[in-house]
Structure 1
Amino acid sequence: MSMIRLSLLAGVMIGNCQPSPDKPPPEMPTPVTQLTPTELLGGKLFFDTNLSEPRGQSCAVCHGPEVGWTGPDELLNKLGSIYEGAVPGRFGNRKAPSSAYATPSPIFHLVDAQQGTFAGGNFWDGRATGEKLGNPAADQAQGPFLNPVEQNNPSAAAVVAKVCAGSYGSLFRSVYGEDICDATQVDKAYDGIALAIAAYEGSREVSAFTSKFDAYRAGHATLTDQELRGLRLFEDKAKCSNCHTSQPGPNGEPPLFTDYSYDNLGAPRNPLNPWYGQFEFNPLGRAWIDYGVADFLVTRPEWRQYARGNLGRQKVPTLRNVDKRPRPDFVKAYTHNGYFKSLKSIIHFYNTRDVLPVCLPENPGTPGADCWPPPEVGLNVNTQEMGNLGLTPEEEDALVAFLGTLSDGYFPP
């Protein structure tokens, strides 16, 4: 376990996710398939701890392969679920999503003008649209390097200089040309860094399609009775597949378990989110509300009119690797703010959100047993596909069992 420095910051428990001195930083796994030169370069960039300021934080610190390319620190997952940046004490505002299966996301676009619905892009709020580099995952890869609460580099030129001087500088030049490190090529080089990271994220090392479910689809594995029951519930009574599509793509591509749309689940705020204490970057403090994709839409004049109808909507994540963990009792965090700490709890929330009363000071109780806290954003809550599903405890367990079949790394006898 990494060294955790717990402290109080404006009444919020926070923890340090920097790799501790007695624990080496995450390393690039031994490739299970042959990577192209661009993919190999992207992997080296992804795991390089020298690309932050101060040095020490790679992409893998918040996107660990052992947990499905999301947050690998169990203690942080149990608390605010938001990971610390390169500068000690600086935290972002949302949980790190999985970086796997991100590259198929389409460029952010308006799906239905009448309904005001959107799809595509990257980040929970879609602001990495893909319009710049043609792939939202590549647009996203440029963000953390320059974000002061993440890797904190002062400029793209500073990142490029570190890459060109790094141990894989020759590989960088061989992929993009010998002149890529010239001072006049900074923009092209920075774009190349992002495109290489996206290529790695789309490689079979990261987006592997090696789950038990994939083996089942190929006729090489058999699901248990409980897992099969969970699959049937997933596609019918529980309505999961309405957004987490479980059917192959138009050309037979394996299911991605997301339609890359945006939805307001009615999730409560996470009171342990350290962002509430980041007054330098969040002057609203605990009054801050995460409006999701609406916060991005208001920055674009052509989409501003749709912002109110999208308040509280966050990107629908893939469910691939949703239960991947280094050991059965390892705690992962779920939803954009990490409020839920188990698949069972979030499924129970989907099932009973509108059945149990609201937890209020005058109506205290245990969340999930007696009541649920109110949604962080009360507008646009999805009441058509969740909230009162009528699932039995056994059916909830069956869904959990099925979701466990989506973890990569299953190799049948």
Structure 2
Amino acid sequence: MPLPRLRILPPLMAGLLACSGHSSSPEASPGVAPSTVTLSPTEQLGRSLFFDRNLSEPPGQACASCHDPRAGWTGPSSTVNAHAVVYEGAVVGRFGNRKPPSAAYATQSPLFHLLDRQGSFEGGAFWDGRATGERLGNAAAGQAQGPFLNPAEQNNANAAAVVAKVCGAPYAPAFRALLGGDICDGAHVERAYDGIARAIAAYEGSREVNAFSSRYDAYLAGRASLSAQELEGLNLFEGRAKCARCHPNRPGPQGEPPLFTDYTYDNLGVPRNPESPWYTQTESNPLGAAWVDNGLGAFLATRPDFRSYARGNLGLHKVPSLRNVDKRPRPDFVKAYGHNGYFKSLESIVHFYNTRDVLPVCLPGSPNTPGTDCWPAPEVGLNVNEEELGNLGLSEAEEAALVAFLRTLSDGYLEP
């Protein structure tokens, strides 16, 4: 388990989005290459499900369509990431409301629960925590059931439709072997659908997805070194930049590798992303451009047991792992950051953390440049974390050192 964080204010959020399943771009999700590690039978079944493009309606969208290993298990299109950020679902023209988070290092998230009397929450899945894991005992498995039935994602009519597709797939014999020979007879849809979700979660928890193979891991093991700039960034990460408070970077008490997230929730004061196509989705978003992403607070408002905590959590989103935060298929590939992808580079989001409360608020119609002369107002002005970011007092060189350190967290480091 990660080390406990030093936290004072309420925490941050995460959620899975619509993803393009019919792109002809060379950046579209990869085919099923041979596994890079030895997988258990359940993990191998989950892998087959994760990369299967036939499990959407119409066919064409797999889990990997939004969670590409080449991009750190998140959005695979540089063009989409640079602008709209949210991905088109299996149905042409349908989009969700947030960017796809990484599928890696997510299975360690505990069941969603109230963390303290101040109304902080921990665990669950999706940006807003709504996949609590309460029914299946596994937040990642609960999350895996969502996209299949989401009209903005894989768009299946019901669980039975998904099960029927799996039972007709080439890997159906493995499915039957693991869940019982009668699993496809139509009388066990709930058990079959739960088995599908658990298999996907098993794969997402495998060493293929959670490789722990970054240069930083090698550094912790004494097998690699960090440059002077990267070491400066590490010192800032643990010190004045306050990053380690939410993204613990030290091994756990039993030597467990750090996960770089505490699985809590926070409102960073991220501006709204005006390029999101969600604002045009009038059928699913009748508020149009007036819609506000209230994150965790909006989910809590749907739960009678947690409703009293909703206002204090408006605008909070799940703290993502920083592992693979810079992993990309090529140097010029654009990655997006923040729950809505407002930031388009590590440099820009680090600069935001450093100067959010230093630069003035951008005025509508002004010629000022966000990030240089001003920052747009937060999408949700309540509950903004002012204790751990906003005015860190870092120099330009120190921002660059932080970015250099973050770039050591990409899996796939080849030791000399």
For residues 218 and 253 of structure 1, what CA distance do their matches in structure 2 show? Answer: 12
Q: How far has the Cα of 1:291 moved from its partner? A: 0.3
- Structure 1 residue 275 corresponds to structure 2 residue 251: no
**1:85-107 deviation per Cα after TM superposition (whole angstroms, max 9, x unaligned):** 00000000000000000110000
2:21–2:60: 8 Å Cα contact kept in structure 1? no
- The amino acid that maps onto 2:77 is D
- Structure 1 residue 394 corresponds to structure 2 residue 397: yes
Q: How far has the Cα of 1:17 moved from its partner? A: 6.0
The answer for the alignment partner of 1:358 in structure 2 is: 361
2:297–2:310: 8 Å Cα contact kept in structure 1? yes
Q: Secondary structure of 1:405's partner?
A: helix
Alignment CA distance shift 1:217-1:103 (3 Å): same
> Which residues in structure 2 correspond to 1:303-342 (within 5 Å)?
303-342=306-345
For residues 322 and 24 of structure 1, what CA distance do their matches in structure 2 show? Answer: 20
The answer for the alignment partner of 1:210 in structure 2 is: 213
The answer for the alignment partner of 2:84 in structure 1 is: 80
Alignment CA distance shift 1:380-1:25 (3 Å): closer
- The amino acid that maps onto 1:47 is F
- The amino acid that maps onto 2:72 is G
- Structure 1 residue 246 corresponds to structure 2 residue 249: yes
TM-score (norm 2): 0.94
For residues 204 and 22 of structure 2, what CA distance do their matches in structure 1 show? Answer: 23
The answer for the alignment partner of 1:53 in structure 2 is: 57
Q: Secondary structure of 1:183's partner?
A: coil
2:21–2:62: 8 Å Cα contact kept in structure 1? no
**1:187-231 deviation per Cα after TM superposition (whole angstroms, max 9, x unaligned):** 000000000000000000001100000001111101111111110
Q: Paired residue for 1:382, among 380, 385, 398?
A: 385
Q: Paired residue for 2:140, among 130, 137, 140?
A: 137
1:25–1:49: 8 Å Cα contact kept in structure 2? no
Across the aligned residues of Structure 1 and Structure 2, the Cα RMSD in angstroms comes to 1.5
**1:7-55 deviation per Cα after TM superposition (whole angstroms, max 9, x unaligned):** xxxxxxx996623187875223322210000000000000000000000
- The amino acid that maps onto 1:102 is A
- The amino acid that maps onto 1:192 is G
1:266–1:374: 8 Å Cα contact kept in structure 2? yes
TM-score (norm 1): 0.94
- The amino acid that maps onto 1:197 is I
Q: Secondary structure of 1:184's partner?
A: coil
For residues 201 and 26 of structure 1, what CA distance do their matches in structure 2 show? Answer: 16
Q: How far has the Cα of 1:392 moved from its partner? A: 0.5
Structure 1 unmatched runs, 5+: 1-13
The answer for the alignment partner of 1:36 in structure 2 is: 40
Q: Secondary structure of 2:252's partner?
A: coil
2:215–2:413: 8 Å Cα contact kept in structure 1? yes
Higher RCO, 1 vs 2 (CA within 8 Å, ≥6 residues apart): 2
Structure 2 unmatched runs, 5+: 1-17
